[in-house]
Structure 1
C-alpha cells in the first residue's frame, strides 16, 4: 500500500506492437487499393495521399515501394496483365479442337473483365496516359493477348503466312476489346453471352482454316 493507505494503481499495459506485414504482402495490398482508387477517380485525379491513407501507411512508404504514382500504376497494369495471361492460358489447356480452344479463351477473357472490373477499367482508360510508360504497358497487354492468339492459331489452325496469322490475331483482339467496352454499357450481358456473340462473328471466318482435331492428327 502507498503511504496514504491507497492501493497503488496497476501500471498501464504497454501498447501492443503492430505486426509488421511482409514486404510482398504489403506490396500486394498497396496495388489492390491503388487499383480501386485509380478506377474510382481516374489516374490524373487519384492522389498518393488518398492511396496511402486507405492502405494505412505513410506516403513516403508508397514512394519507397514504387518510386512514383506512375510507377504504382505500372505495377497495377503489370499485375493485371499477368493475371489475364494466366487465366487465358489455363482456359485453353486440354482443348481438343480449334473451336473449343477459341471459345474457352474468349470465355476466360470476358469472365476476367466482369470479375476484375477495376483492372479492366485501368486497361481501357488509356487516352489520359498517351505518351507515358503506362500507355506502353497497356499496349503491351494487347500485344500479349495477340501473341497468345497467334500461338493458339499455330497449334490449332492452318495459319498460313506469319503476317496472315498476326493480322488475324489483331482482328480478334480488337473485336473483343470493343465488345468488352460495349458489355460495360449492358451489364445484363453475361460473359457466356458475350463469348457466343464473339464466336458467331469470328468463328465463321476462322473455321475454314482450322486443323483437324488433335485425336485425328497423325
Structure 2
C-alpha cells in the first residue's frame, strides 16, 4: 500500500506594508545601537530575515532606509502630540498635555528619539534635512496651538515663542537621558514652571 507524501505548505508572503514596517523597526534599533556610519545593511537584513537586495528594493540605499526611519519617528511624534492636546480646555492645560506627550515619547521610543537627536553626525546628508523638518513640525504645531489659545495678534512673537519652546524642550530631553530617575510628569512640571510664566502673559491679553 503506497502513501502519497503531502507537499510542504507554502509560507504565506508578508504584505508589503507589513514587511516595510518590520524593516523600519529593525533598522531603527540597529541605527540606535551602532550609529548610522557603523550600521550595516547586512546586519539589518539578517535581523529582519530577508536578503540585502530586498532592503535595497524597498529603500534604495542605507540612507534611504534611515530617512524612512526618521519620517516614521516624526509622524509618530506628531500623532501623539496632536492627540494629547485635542480638547484641552485652556492654554495652560494644552501646553502641559503637549509637553507630557513629548517627554513620554522620548522615554518610550528611545531608539526613535536617538535618531532624531543625533543630527550632528548627519550634516550634509538628506537625513539632516529630515531632522530639521521634524523640529519645524513641532514648532509649527506649537505655534498653531498658541494661535488657538493665546493672543495671536503678533505672529512673529508667536513663532519666536514656539521656537523657544521646542529648543528648550529638546535640550531638556537630552538632559533627561542622564537622569532616568525623573518621570515624564516631573520633567513636564519643570518645563511648565519655566515656560508658562512667559506664555501666560499672552493668554491674559
Q: Do the two structures share a fold, i.e. TM-score over 0.5?
A: yes
Alignment-derived partner of residue 173 in structure 1 = 166
Question: Which of 46, 56, 69 is the equivalent residue of 1:76?
Answer: 69
Alignment-derived partner of residue 147 in structure 1 = 140
Does 1:131 find its partner at 2:128?
Answer: no
Q: Secondary structure at the match of 2:201?
A: helix
Instruction: Output aligned runs, 1:176-215, within 5 Å.
Output: 176-210=169-203
Instruction: Output aligned runs, 1:94-105, within 5 Å.
Output: 94-105=87-98
Alignment-derived partner of residue 65 in structure 1 = 58
Question: Which of 19, 44, 55 is the equivalent residue of 2:48?
Answer: 55
Report how many residues are paired: 205
Residues in 2 aligned to 1:120 and 1:11: alpha-carbon distance in whole angstroms: 55
Residues in 1 aligned to 2:152 and 2:59: alpha-carbon distance in whole angstroms: 42
Q: Is the 1:110–1:191 Cα contact (8 Å) retained in structure 2?
A: yes
For structure 2, which runs of at least 5 residues remain unmatched after alignment? none
Q: TM-score, normalised by structure 1?
A: 0.91
Residues in 1 aligned to 2:12 and 2:178: alpha-carbon distance in whole angstroms: 43
Q: Deviations for 1:15-58, whole angstroms, at most 9, x for unmatched residues?
A: 33221000000000000000000000000100000000000000
How far apart are 1:211 and its partner, in Å?
5.0
For structure 1, which runs of at least 5 residues remain unmatched after alignment? 2-7, 213-218
